[in-house]
């Protein structure tokens, strides 16, 4: 079978949707199928290529709106070669991008069965006239895609509930996931970075990790201010974004690492005393939480989409009631002063993840959907 994944952004752009696409596509190839990935063009990258995993990537011209966070497909994209590939089944991510509208309408017109996977639990823009316009656009985009008749899925039950905002009843979940064995191998892969030594964590001190886009909603700045209140505590910030320079300017125990290769992120999580995600962003199911759980790293986070499924209660994590620096500092102090309890919670999170949130299980579910759709056609 030939699978086609439509995603407005893709690697090397970092993010959960990008890695979700990459992981599912790799498993298609490993199972003997073809995997095409259709995404937005990026400077310096070819319009078409095959990567080291055998994934065939098509990059379509797009306008980099919102600093590239919202690529807008250019009119009449050159895609004749794409539609000549004999696509059997399409996976469209996510509900609101112009490319998703185009993909859904093209698949319907060409009789290609498809499904839509959504990854968020809130509107992309908030406040003022721009927020109002953004909401109108999202409802308009969802309406166009919904009329194509393809089923919608969420990466968590929270996402499925959010889809009801647009009059969409989700057909089920295709959860975000990881491969615990693959991550365990990456944690020990050579060359292996000793992050505690490289970041100069003092003897008896603690290493706290943050991984994600450095935007205000993710809470990295509040976390940095909290860590500054804790002697002997070092914060490793892995990611890029508009707050990067402000975080670098803090200095002291705040170490901004920029965008790290995936193996180094996994090694950081496997060596950290805590992974903290004080996000207020409209997450769908943060990949970094799954990776931290797979690395058996104790987690401190806000209640966001997917956390209730991976981390049902405080036997699995410590939850933050708000993201004020003083709240974060107190919660970090409570977690770090009882490392045995933190490790017990991390072990429970790992067991839950291994039972329910693996790529093998998600791929098997998607394959069954594709086979059923082809039989129906």
Determine the pLDDT at residue 121: 86
Check for a shared fold between 2-177+358-376 and 180-356: yes
Question: pLDDT tens digits for 63-106?
Answer: 999 878 889 999 999 999 999 999 999 999 988 899 999 999 99
Structure tokens at 275: 């992974």
Return the number of other C-beta atoms located less than 10 Å from residue 303's C-beta: 12
Lowest mean pLDDT among 23-37, 197-211, 281-295, 331-345: 281-295
Q: Tell me the C-alpha to C-alpha distance, in Å, between residue 319 and each of 214, 293, 299, 322.
A: 21, 15, 9, 9
Q: Percentages helix, strand, coil for the chain, rounded to the nearest 5?
A: 45, 20, 35
**pLDDT mean over 20-34:** 96
Determine the pLDDT at residue 282: 63
Average pLDDT of the chain to the nearest whole number: 94
Which residue is associated with the tokens 């708000």? Answer: 322
**pLDDT mean over 184-205:** 95
287: Cα within 13 Å, side-chain hemisphere? 21
Strand partners, 210: 237
Strand partners, 93: 7, 117
Beta-strand runs (E) in 183-341: 206-211, 233-238, 254-258, 274-277, 299-302, 318-320
Determine the pLDDT at residue 69: 81
Phi first, then psi, for residue 97 (nearest 5°) are -80, 150
**pLDDT mean over 40-44:** 94
Which residue is associated with the tokens 């997917």? Answer: 306
**Helix (H) and strand (E) counts in the chain:** 15, 16
**CB under 8 Å to 249, separation ≥6 — which residues?**
none
Q: Specify the CATH architecture of the domain 2-177+358-376.
A: 3-Layer(aba) Sandwich (3.40)
CATH hierarchy code of domain 180-356: 3.40.50.2000
Confirm if 121 and 162 have CB atoms less than 8 A apart: yes
14 pLDDT higher than 90:
no
144 Cα distance to chain centroid: 25
**pLDDT mean over 305-330:** 93
- What's the rounded Cα separation, in Å, for the pair 129 and 115? 32
Domain ranges within the chain, ordered by starting residue = 2-177+358-376, 180-356
Which residue is associated with the tokens 């509107």? Answer: 123
- What's the rounded Cα separation, in Å, for the pair 59 and 48? 6
Question: pLDDT tens digits for 225-281?
Answer: 999 999 999 999 999 999 999 999 999 999 999 999 999 999 999 999 999 999 987
Give the percent of the chain with pLDDT over 90.
84
* DSSP structural state of residue 311: S
Instruction: Please measure the distance between the N-terminal and C-terminal CA atoms of the chain and give it in whole angstroms.
Output: 14
């Amino acid at each position: 079978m030939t699978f086609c994944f439509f995603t407005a952004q893709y690697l090397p752009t970092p993010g959960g949707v990008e890695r979700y696409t990459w992981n599912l596509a790799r498993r298609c190839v490993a199972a003997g199928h073809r995997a095409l990935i259709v995404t937005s063009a990026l400077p310096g990258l070819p319009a078409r290529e095959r990567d080291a995993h055998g994934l065939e990537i098509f990059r379509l011209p797009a306008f980099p709106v919102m600093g590239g966070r919202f690529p807008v497909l250019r009119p009449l994209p050159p895609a004749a070669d794409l539609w000549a590939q004999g696509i059997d089944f399409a996976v469209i991510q996510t509900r609101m991008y112009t490319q998703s509208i185009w993909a859904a309408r093209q698949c319907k017109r060409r009789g290609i069965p498809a499904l839509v996977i959504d990854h968020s639990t809130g509107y992309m823009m908030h406040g003022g006239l721009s927020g109002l316009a953004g909401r109108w656009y999202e409802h308009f985009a969802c309406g166009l895609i919904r009329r194509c008749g393809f089923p919608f899925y969420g990466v968590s039950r929270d996402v499925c509930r959010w889809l009801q905002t647009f009059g969409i009843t989700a057909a089920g979940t295709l959860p975000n996931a990881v491969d615990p064995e693959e991550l365990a191998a990456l944690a020990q892969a050579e060359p292996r970075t000793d992050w505690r030594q490289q970041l100069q964590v003092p003897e008896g001190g603690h290493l706290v990790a943050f991984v994600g886009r450095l935007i205000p909603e993710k809470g990295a700045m509040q976390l940095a201010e909290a860590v500054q209140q804790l002697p002997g505590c070092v914060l490793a910030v892995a990611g890029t974004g508009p707050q990067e320079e402000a975080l670098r300017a803090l200095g002291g125990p705040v170490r901004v690492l920029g965008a790290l290769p995936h193996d180094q992120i996994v090694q950081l999580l496997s060596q950290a005393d805590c992974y903290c995600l004080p996000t207020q962003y409209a997450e769908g199911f943060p990949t970094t939480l799954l990776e931290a759980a797979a690395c058996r790293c104790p987690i401190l986070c806000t209640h966001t989409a997917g956390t209730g499924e991976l981390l049902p209660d405080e036997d699995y994590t410590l939850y933050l009631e708000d993201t004020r620096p003083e709240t974060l500092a107190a919660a970090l102090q409570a977690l770090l002063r009882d490392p045995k309890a933190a490790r017990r919670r991390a072990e429970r999170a790992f067991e839950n993840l291994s039972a329910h949130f693996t790529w093998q299980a998600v791929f098997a579910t998607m394959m069954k959907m594709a086979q059923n759709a082809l039989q129906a056609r």
